[in-house]
Structure 1
Amino acid sequence: MAVPAVHSTDGQIEAGKQACIQDKYDKAQRSFASAIKTSKCTNPTCLKLLDHQTGALLKLKRFDESLNCAKSMIRHSRTDGRGYIRCGKLERLQGNYEAALKWYQHGLKNVPPKDPLHATLKAKIESIQAAIRQERYRTKLRDPLVSLPLEVAQLIASYLDFQTLVMVMRVSRSWKAFVASLPITSDTLDFSGARQQVQVKAYRAALRRLKTTPRKVVVFNFSRPASTSVAQSLGVWLKAGSLDHLEVFDLHCMHQLNSTTKLFTLVGQVDTNSISPNLKSVVFGPEARLELHGMIALLTQCTKLVHARFGSVAADDPPLPPLSTIFPHLEEELHTLPPTIDPFTVTTKNGYLPCNTPLVKLPDDFSALSKILDNMPVEKLDGKPGLLANFALGPLIDDGQLPDLTPYLDRLIRTNGRLDLPLVTALFRDYSFLASSYLLEPCWESWSKDRNQGYGLGRQRLPKCIAGPLVETAKILDIPPFMSYAASYALYNYYLEDPSLDTSVYSNLRLVRAFEHGLNPKSSEAGFILTHIHMVQSTGPLIEGAVSLLKSIDGHPNPTAEDLSVTTSAFQTMLTAMTRIEASMETMWTNSLPKDYISYRTFIFGITNQSMFPNGVIYEGENDDKPMYFRGESGANDSIIPLLDHILEVPMPKNPLTDILIDFRKYRPRAHREFLGYMMSKAGELGVRKYCMANTDLAQLYLKLLDHVRSFRWRHWLFAREYIIKRSSHPTATGGSPIVTWLPNQLMAVMDAMDQVYKDSGLESMVQEEEKGMAFVKGVMDKMREQRDKLDKEVKKYCEERGV
């Protein structure tokens, strides 16, 4: 539309202004441009026209033209601040902060100080400089190690695999130093993530990163030369006894090795009689074929083995030796056992409880220790306040009131020259109670005085008078030197009020040691521990049924109807035992109130992955006075569900959460670990799952038992939710696992296993066809799926609330 002729400059300006009021900016800028072109206006008038045209073009977002007009304003008058301000604004709107700053600085130099726009330019400079600083801060690459707490960085690193951490070392010198200090890079060779064949050069580079002989080695995708090098090194490490974790995923590139067992006889360095006794975890992939006698050698020679998985085992060798040869006391009467035997010897009579009632009173040589422990709880046995009530335990120990018995310990724990293992276990229990009380007393004080301020820091050093005996007894028992579920906190921490009654009577149970009010059997602390003991006292039949199941399958690979009745009976024995165990577990709600747990929980935290111990704890006189890290007491160390996981062959996902589950195993008594390791290997050899899937009746029993695992873990999740998650923001459980996500990892795994069994066994199609007797199976699966949906929602909710 043509602009009507306007005869005066003022008229053209007024017409342009009216067009702007009507939001007709294109018409306005043309009016201003025409006035500039046709009139011979004075300098101030021309500046006004250019200013108006710049504003109209800006409204049209024609930034380049608008900037040219603003520059023309400067050319018309270098002492007028409007042009500089217009240029700076246009550059800033386009994100060109540095260019905007230059325009404002030019203006400040040329506009007279007395001009009001001089002060405006100063303000514009300050504003744009602040914006530049903010932009630089926002876009600048910053090393998180500068501000990230060390314990948080260590926690993050614990979730990263070996290959990722190696790549992280390339980020910066600080990251290289940090990652190099982590155990996973200083004592680990893990090539499980290798996408290309590992060459000798890469293998040697990894060796150079090690600070000592490796503790963990994972062999995967090695080239032929690299395979030769690693096989030779493995021989040396195995002989030296430094290796405790070995995984071999493929031997297809190791043509010089005819079988996996030659890994241990290579170049005559090691024979099968000297396989590293310190091996705790061994995994052979499907292509790493292992002959059965080699597997037997591993299981028998490696006495510390807690985890073994074999992907391919030659079937023409003899089977695993019978249980009776490895566990001669398994079906023996308790009164016939030697008095100095390992108290956690597994039998079908006592199950996982000690085979004799735990030792309560220590010999007189340890009277000083006993006196301190008797006076230690917040509430003593006589009801009076103890040392922890007044935060007086630490000063007492620091004042030298406990003698160091380490030099005399070996003599004191022997009976007729033989180690008295019940006494050793009782000493471990008592010293571990004292150690946890000493280390966590400041956290208890902090929490008691202000429950909103958290736990603060614990004591970072454990005195030699406690550390020495604790480490020595732990070495004998072959468990970490820190409070554990079985050997100290729960299963070796009770006595019978009436010796004529047994552990099946809950009201007959009493605690030997406690932190808060646990010596009162009606307290929540006592209820928490005693409920666990009462659950475990029903494990004898569970073990009996598990052993009977494997014997039945082993003896009848092609079962008759009579044979199947024996297998069915074994399942029924386990199902009955689990019903009793879960009934005891359900009493936790009344025996130990949810509102009380957070209080006494303070004393059962560990010293790894905990904010109270960012750098672990120094055990004086041990480990060259370098910090040590141990997990805290946890019911996850119990052996009930692991037995069912093993015999039912429940697969677990390969992730950091499962790694924690595996790490927990070393805190169990050695006798428990050995029994569970055998049961896991034997179940794998027999193929229990496959055997049961071939028969509809057995498949149903298998699913029922699997459902007990689901029910047990679901209740454990409810305990965690009601006792901890809803009452504390602390991110980790006592054992150092993530409080929200760890339990669901195992619970989801068993639910997935139920789904798979339901499909593979044919039960799903039978339910769909509404066959007789399938209502129970349908109910089990419906309940499982309902809980899985609920669990998924709850975990997401708590993760969002906690920023996980």
Structure 2
Amino acid sequence: MRTATPTRGFLPETDPAPRLPDAFRAWDAMVAELPGLLAAGRARAVLEQLPQADIRELETPGERERALGTLSVFGHAAVHESWRQASASSVPAAIARPWVTLAHSMGRLPVLTYASHGQNNWKRLRPDGPVGLGNLAVLRNFFGGLDENWFVATHVEIEGQAAPLVLAVVAGQRAVETNDPGELLAALRTIADTLEQIHATLVRVRENCDPYIFFTRVQPFMQGMKNVVYEGAAEFGGVPQNFAGGSGAQSTLMPLLDAALGIRHAGDALITYLHELRRYMPAEHQDFLAQVEQGPSIRAYLVECGDRRLNEQYNRCIEGVGRFREEHLAISIEYIQKPARQQASMRGEQGTGGSPFVGYLEKHRKETFSNLLP
């Protein structure tokens, strides 16, 4: 199964479907109305009456992906609309039944994931233009507005920029297998150069996404489902479910880099959590990551051959991953920890999706830099 393309990386090979088939027209209309319904405190009441449609009429992967993302937004809006008091304890049957059935048929989970909220939630304003900031609009949002849209678009651009990196990982491992230092050097240089571009984009999240607005208007709806009943979903039999919410930690990029570069982390709560989040990735992304983890080891090859030029490019890669983690830590503190403390938030200082980030990201940063070669 293909997992990456030269121009898209872990983004879909074709642009996400801009609309659903006619039988689902009411769902698309509800997506457009959702910000207003949330602002009025009426989202759950209206979503409980969501018109039923037969998901078997979804014919293409793009249609199924759009429907899954649409139901995910509806489900989280219905549960977390009143989060300031307490999130609801159930997903209405009108959403839960098709959501659970569709998710299971796709090998996915019925919760808002990074794949639905980011990787498959965009359109190009100019169809012939780049998948990048300035040419991206978000297909589905909650309250909407510049801050929410910019946050999503920043992640989409990062995923698109990473396409050469993904292919370079494959090329690098192939070079180890064939003992081709020249190909490995080119692959490491591509990974390092791409990490510089990705870091520059991550920094840009601050341009149009305010920490206060993010914490109070965006992140609440990205919370997971904690002890939530999916009403009428036969697959769960009325048993409450627990799922993590949408998070950039569900992206395949960082675990891919750890696997490709041989970066090891000592066991801790965040590592356990990150491994758990792999099941929230699309199956083909999980499979690709597992293949890379099986080797061959780029780091072991470099340690054995001791080539200075190769080590220099490898160290550029390690430094790039480390800088990305430094920036991620800074943004997490700025956008989550500080607002949570200022507002004495009932949500606490958990990361997007519920991750226990504060005590561990610095440790992971240090562990990354400890892999530098002499």
Q: Deviation of residue 745 (structure 1)? A: 4.0
Alignment partners' CA distance in 2, 1:513 and 1:532: 15
Take 2:52 and 2:322, find their aligned partners in 1: how far apart are those partners?
47
Aligned to 2:99: 470
Question: What's the offset of the Cα at 1:350?
Answer: 1.3
TM-score when scaled to structure 1?
A: 0.44
Offset of residue 396 of structure 1: 1.6
Match of 1:664 in 2: 277
**Aligned pair 1:564/2:191, yes or no?**
no
Q: Deviations over 1:732-785 (max 9, x none)?
A: 22322224224234323313333xx4xxxxx2xxxxxxxxxxxxxxxxxxxxxx
> Is 1:750 the equivalent of 2:368?
yes
1:639 deviates by 1.7
Alignment match, 1:574: 191
One-letter amino acid matched to 2:140: R
Structure 2 partner of 1:632: 245
1:554 to 159, 174, 177: 177
Whether the 8 Å CA contact 1:431–1:470 is kept in 2: the answer is yes
Amino acid at match of 2:58: I
Kindly indicate whether the alpha-carbon contact (under 8 Å) linking 1:725 and 1:739 is maintained by their aligned counterparts in 2.
no
Identity among equivalent positions (%) equals 26
1:721 to 299, 316, 333: 333
Q: Deviations over 1:443-500 (max 9, x none)?
A: 1xxxxxxxxxxx32111111111011111221122121100011x1111111111112
Displacement of 1:567 after TM fit? 1.3
Equivalent position amino acid for 1:732 in 2: Q
The residue correspondences of 1:362-511 to structure 2 (distance < 5 A) are 362-377=20-35, 386-398=36-48, 400=49, 402-405=50-53, 408-410=54-56, 412-414=57-59, 420-443=60-83, 455-486=84-115, 488-504=116-132, 506-511=133-138
Listed one character per residue, the Cα deviations across residues 394-446 of structure 1 (whole Å, up to 9, x for unaligned) are 12233x3x1233xx322x123xxxxx211111100000000000100011xxx
1:639-788 counterparts in 2 under 5 A? 639-682=252-295, 686-693=296-303, 694-695=305-306, 696-729=308-341, 730-754=348-372, 757=373, 763=374
Residues 346 and 675, structure 1, Cα contact 8 Å, conserved in 2: no
Q: Does 1:524 align with 2:154?
A: no
Name structure 1 gaps, 5 residues minimum: 1-326, 330-344, 378-385, 415-419, 444-454, 557-562, 609-615, 758-762, 764-804
Choose between structure 1 and 2 for higher RCO, CA contacts under 8 A separated by at least 6 residues. 2
Which whole-Å CA distance do the structure 1 matches of 2:47 and 2:171 have between them?
Answer: 51
Whether the 8 Å CA contact 2:336–2:350 is kept in 1: the answer is: no
Tell me the amino acid that sits aligned with residue 165 of structure 2.
L
Asked if structure 2 preserves the Cα contact closer than 8 Å seen for 1:658 and 1:745, the reply is no
Unaligned runs of 5+ in 2: 342-347
Specify which of 199, 204, 220 is matched with residue 602 of structure 1. 220
The separation in 1 between residues aligned to 2:144 and 2:232, in whole angstroms, is: 33
Query: What SS is found at the alignment partner of 1:629?
Result: strand
Cα shift at 1:532: 0.7
Shift of 1:673: 1.0
CA deviations over 1:270-312 (Å, ceiling 9, x no partner): xxxxxxxxxxxxxxxxxxxxxxxxxxxxxxxxxxxxxxxxxxx
The question of whether the paired residues in 2 share the 8 Å contact of 1:429 and 1:493 is answered with: yes
Question: Quick one: which amino acid aligns to residue 721 of structure 1?
Answer: I
Work out the CA distance in 1 between the residues paired with 2:332 and 2:111.
22
Amino acid at match of 1:700: E
Q: Which amino acid aligns with 2:4?
A: V
Matched-pair contact (CA < 8 Å) for 2:270–2:357 = no
Instruction: Give distance in 2, aligned partners of 1:458 and 1:535.
Output: 31
Distance 1:646 1:588 in 2: 26
Q: 2:119 is paired with a residue of what secondary structure? A: coil
Residue 731 (structure 1) shift: 3.4
C-alpha distance in 2 between matches for 1:573 and 1:376: 42
Q: Partners in 2 of 1:468 and 1:352 — Cα distance? A: 29
2:228 is the counterpart of 1:617: yes
Q: Verify the 8 A CA contact 1:346 1:671 in the aligned structure 2.
A: no
How many Å apart are 1:551 and its aligned residue?
0.9
Q: Distance in 1 between matches of 2:185 and 2:128?
A: 35
The whole-number CA distance in structure 1 between the counterparts of 2:280 and 2:360 is 17
Amino acid at match of 1:572: R
| Cα separation, 2, equivalents of 1:441 and 1:737 | 21
